[in-house]
Amino acid sequence: MPVSRVDLGRLRSLLGEELSEPTLREVLFRSKVEPGAIEGSELILEVTPDRLDLLDEAGLARELNGLLGRARGLDYATEPAPVAGAEGRQNASVSPLRGEFQAAVVVAPADRPLDEGLREELVRYQELLHSTTGQDRRAGSLGLYPLERLTPPIRYALEPLGQIEFVPLGGTEPMSAARFFDEHPMAQRYGALGRQGELALTLRDSQDRILSLPPVLNATPGGEIRPGDRRILIESTGTNAARVRELVGYMLLPFAGRGWKVHPFPIHRPERVDDGLETIRSRSLSAVPTSLARTLGTRFSASELVDLFHTLRLGAEPKEGKVRVEVPPWRPDLLAECDLAEEVAIAQGYNRLAPLLAPALTQGRRLPPAHLEDQLREVAMGMGFQELYVPTLVSAGAAARGPGLGESLPLVNPPSQEYSHVRSSLAPGLLEALSRNTGSPYPQRVFEVGAVVVPDRTSPTRTRTERRLALLEAAEGTGFAQAAAWGERLLTLLGVQAAREPLEVPGTLPGRSAQVRLAGERLFWLGEVHPRVLTELKLPCAVSFLELDLTTLERLRPSPLPA
């Protein structure tokens, strides 16, 4: 889970009064925060990945004040009109490299401009967001700029390196872009994300002053916020529109929690003018009391729900038998009514919800498919296989490489490139596990019982979950004949007779794979992995596999397996 180090002095200032450590830990227990040790003046926290707002001091203080009954409701001040003259220009040249661009402007209260404590918090929180939502700046990155010392419009473009010279943040001397990309540590790490050949991304104001080279580093002084600043531009660029918008939304929180007002930042794009309002405004969701009662097992009136949502610092009002909930931009985790049900449970306190025994055909017993899986596990271990647990998410390479059947489904917002697809077969994941254990002696025999997801147009979700068993062996001399022998043993165990027939399985040697059907449906398939795949994964010996469809077997098997 993401980890944060919160300054206790600034947190207590935001809370408005001193909290003892036991009281602080007790209240945090009700939220999605796991408090850790206190080191000096800092409290170490872990939060669930869906509540990154709690990594920020202001976000954590908002949550605590709500749970303690000291503050209620959303309390989020936005202005529909942009700050005079503040707007952006996005050049069409950026689209192939990093085409998403969003921004907002925050204005300080008259008596509370930017101070050093808030500046430190902004830098800390910004880097946390880069490593989580921003996927180490690949999906999105953030920049903060002193709008009072700039002259809009702000221009976002891809420029030749020879036209770029600036003072990198923290530096004192101007540096050419070519030298910057060759020598600077930040360019060594992130330079490829903002450069295309002899071109680089830039943010400039109308006086041609460089603000930053996104997503690498800001410039001095155009990209340097200082204590005393009253108008700050928050900007995000990236490759993923949802992540870029979320990053701006999260970054509004440290300011909104301290009473700063939020203004839109219009951007003139090649195809249209974006007024910037969608980035800063809150969203509306509806909660139906009867539906929440079915989910939580406890009835709440509309007025009680409004009170609970206010406790979690959300806007809420009853409307036509429902509760309209106002969600701020730093809560992208709230998407549907089921998410609101969880908020109600947190506000109420899980320990205060009445226990409800869900209706079920059986109680205290395992379902027949679980018994079947256990029996097959014993069979696999008796054949000398070792069980592995492999993630359900796989890389695009593993999904395409095989061996397996069916189309692995890509995720819209993958957590990483290594986990970008939902697997449709077990064998590719086991094969990657073997590739990470080439230092162990051979033969290696592994198996897994697990779930896969396959396309299904008849389902409301257009997908269907199936259970599978996969056997893999890496050994000298293994091959199609070995996998066929496993299949014969399984057919004998199942007490069925079925014919093997040819089947071309992606990722296998042509003519060295097959399937077995039962009652006209595919029961299992097997084969010998193609040498091209073995070479790609640096596996030193042959690999054979068999994959059994447990969902089909459970539906079609004539009788239980022998004890």
Report the CATH number at residue 535: 3.30.930.10
What's the mean pLDDT in 193-212? 96
231, 251, 279 — which closes off a domain?
279
Whether residues 267 and 295 fall in one domain: no
Terminal Cα distance for the chain, rounded: 43
- How many domains does one find in the chain? 4
Render 206-268 in DSSP notation, one character per residue.
TT--EEEETTTEEEETTT---TT--EEEEEEEES-HHHHHHHHHHHHHHHHTTT-EEEE--EE
Whether residues 12 and 143 fall in one domain: no
What DSSP character marks residue 189? Answer: H
Helix, strand, or coil (residue 97): helix
- 465-495: per-residue pLDDT in tens? 999 999 999 999 999 999 999 999 988 888 8
Whether residues 237 and 268 fall in one domain: yes
Whether residues 445 and 319 fall in one domain: no
List all residues 6 or more positions away from 257 whose beta carbon is below 8 Å from its beta carbon. 14, 56, 57, 58, 59, 61, 62
Domain around 344: 283-349
Whether residues 198 and 320 fall in one domain: no
- 425-452: per-residue pLDDT in tens? 999 999 999 998 888 899 999 999 999 9
Task: Supply 106's token pair.
Answer: 């925050």
* CA distances for 153 relative to 88, 142, 204, angstroms: 5, 18, 8
Predicted TM-score of the model (pTM): 0.68
Single-letter residue type at 405: L
- Which of 213-217, 271-275, 294-298, 558-562 is least confident? 558-562
Tally Cβ neighbours within 10 Å of residue 462. Answer: 10
Whether residues 256 and 288 fall in one domain: no
- Is there a domain that residue 362 lies in? no
Distance CA 92, CA 271 (A): 9
Whether residues 220 and 316 fall in one domain: no
Task: Supply 1's token pair.
Answer: 């889970």
- Is there a domain that residue 140 lies in? yes
pLDDT of 341 strictly over 90: yes
Whether residues 316 and 417 fall in one domain: no
Residue length of the chain: 563
- Is there a domain that residue 80 lies in? no
For residue 190, which of 241, 249, 244, 131 has the smallest C-alpha distance?
131
Whether residues 207 and 290 fall in one domain: no
Give me the pLDDT at residue 38, please. 86
Whether residues 288 and 436 fall in one domain: no
Q: What is the mean pLDDT of the chain?
A: 91
Whether residues 400 and 544 fall in one domain: yes
Distance CA 200, CA 192 (A): 9
Strand boundaries in 51-153, DSSP class E: 88-90, 100-107, 140-146
pLDDT of 23 strictly over 90: no
264, 279, 294 — which closes off a domain?
279
Give me the pLDDT at residue 1, please. 73
For residue 331, which of 323, 341, 322, 339 has the smallest C-alpha distance?
339
Bridge partners of 469, per DSSP, are 449, 548
- Is there a domain that residue 81 lies in? no
Rg from Cα positions in the chain: 29
Task: Supply 520's token pair.
Answer: 């006209």
**pLDDT grade, residue 561 (50/70/90)?**
low
Of 182-191, 362-371, 416-425, give the range with the top mean pLDDT.
182-191
Q: What angle do CA 509, 514, 518 make, to 5 degrees?
A: 165
Report the CATH number at residue 45: 3.30.56.10
Whether residues 152 and 62 fall in one domain: no
CA atoms lying within 13 Å on the CB side of residue 240: 19
- Is there a domain that residue 562 lies in? no
Pairing mode, strands 3-7 and 42-47: antiparallel
Distance CA 221, CA 211 (A): 8
Single-letter residue type at 295: T
- Is there a domain that residue 355 lies in? no
Report the CATH number at residue 258: 3.50.40.10
What's the mean pLDDT in 459-468? 89
- Is there a domain that residue 360 lies in? no
Tally Cβ neighbours within 10 Å of residue 381. Answer: 13
Task: Supply 123's token pair.
Answer: 């830098």
